[in-house]
Copies of this chain bind each other. A is one copy, B any other.
Amino acid sequence: MKYAKWMKNVGEGFIGEMLRAAQNPEMISFAGGLPALDLFPTQDLQAAFQKVFEEQGNAALQYAQTAGYPELRSWVASQHQRSQRPARTAEVIITTGSQQGLSLLAQTFLDPGDTVFLETPTYLGAIQAFEGFRADFQMIPCDEEGILPDELEKALAFATPKFLYLIPNYQNPSGRVMGLERRIELLKVSQKYGLLLVEDNPYGELRYEGEPIPHLAELGENVIYLGTFSKVLAPGLRIGYVLADEDIIRHLEQTKEGVDLHSNNLTQRAIYEYLQKDLLPDHILKLREVYNVRRKAMVESLQTYLGDRVEMKVPAGGLFLWAKLMGVNNSFDYVQDMIRQNVLYVPGAVFYADGRVSNEMRLNYSCSTPEIIEEGMMRLARGLNQ
């Protein structure tokens, strides 16, 4: 079969192997990026779906507008500033999860071979979304606050990327945060060169330390912002959104029309119904509380059982802990040993678009209890010491 050139050989790949391994009930998986299943506001969502069925019935089951349910778009706009003024409804498009936002942006902006700038390392799903439209990647050097503005400026002297993709809050996989000063410096460079920024913020509300920092989209111009209900509400509902200039939203809408016509109408209305009850702020507080306990448990048991083998920075928010395995060349090499110990992590290499070797690993702490986290860390230590 003659597939498109960008398609890879999809035989027995690494991700398939990990997924199969994760299905073993004995397995402790730190490899996913799942929110905690038992914290979903299932009853409140059930009530919201019920109410939509009762009050809007058939209308919620019909074809709908490509840009999204108007009330939900307005709600999203009401929560956001763009360039220091309130966002407008016409600056919002609802997407089938934030992942679709990335894919729509790629389809709307990229011609094959166009360059996309990435953080080093970055979210695997973004690499996959952009690869699907034949992006060329350039990874911009980062420090513990993310993109280095000087390095970005150097790179811009030699390349004209369509956009720079970044996650300023509790980055996936590194957990790092871009401070306010750095954001302002970055915007100076991006505005000087007319560089479009794609600011992805799935984890921003999952803050366990420090104060919230204004989004790039709030501080400057020429920023596309991606948000999602997956991490604060429920990922299985697949509802996210993009905020951008109206002209960009209209183009994304044109793309989305060919891609899936519109996102699930019933679900958009039910989420709006849920939001109307103003339950989300308390729910987020609860998530922060539980995830913070799990974060601490992971940091502590990592130090207890692998203290001499790892180097890491405590993440101030989000879902992930990122650690270097000292004295190890490639964290990929230990995955099989770990599967035998019934524990999983994601080896760092998959978060680099240039295929480099990495001694890092990404560990998810949001969906395991402290007890399971401790048991998992013991298994990790056994796997490393074999």
Contact = CB atoms under 8 A, between A and B. Distances in A.
Interface stretch (A95-103, A170-178, A207-215): A95-103
A10 interface: yes
Of all A-B residue pairs in the complex, the 10 with the closest CB atoms, nearest first, are A236-B265, A61-B234, A128-B258, A46-B53, A100-B260, A61-B236, A96-B260, A132-B258, A129-B258, A37-B58
B99 A258 contact: yes
Contacts of A46: 50, 53-54
Contact of A254 (B8, B32, B50): B8
A255 interface: yes
A264 B248 contact: no
Interface size class of A (residues with CB under 8 A): 35 or more
A26 interface: no
A251 interface: yes
A307 interface: no
Given A3-B109, A61-B45, A99 B259 contact: yes
Interface in A34-67: 34-35, 37-38, 40, 42, 45-46, 49-50, 53-54, 57-64
A62 B37 contact: yes
A4 B236 contact: no
Contacts of A96: 96, 238, 260, 263-264
Contacts of A111: 4-5
A49 B236 CA distance: 14
A213 to B, nearest CB: 27
Contact of A62 (B10, B45, B235, B266): B235
A112 interface: yes
A1 to B, nearest CB: 6
B4 A110 contact: yes
B61 A7 contact: no
A83 interface: no
A4 B264 contact: no
A363 B49 CA distance: 34
A183 interface: no
A251 B3 contact: yes
A148 interface: no
A115 interface: no
Given A1-B248, A236-B62, A254-B7, A125 B45 contact: no
27 contacts: A1-B196, A2-B162, A3-B251, A4-B109, A4-B114, A5-B111, A7-B251, A10-B251, A10-B254, A37-B59, A42-B53, A42-B58, A60-B236, A61-B235, A62-B236, A96-B96, A96-B260, A96-B264, A97-B260, A100-B260, A125-B257, A236-B264, A236-B265, A236-B266, A238-B262, A264-B267, A266-B267
A89 interface: no
Contacts of A129: 258-259
Nearest to A96: B260
Nearest to A102: B258
A233 to B, nearest CB: 8
* Residue with the highest number of chain B CB atoms closer than 10 Å, among A57, A61, A100, A234: A61
Contacts of A230: 63
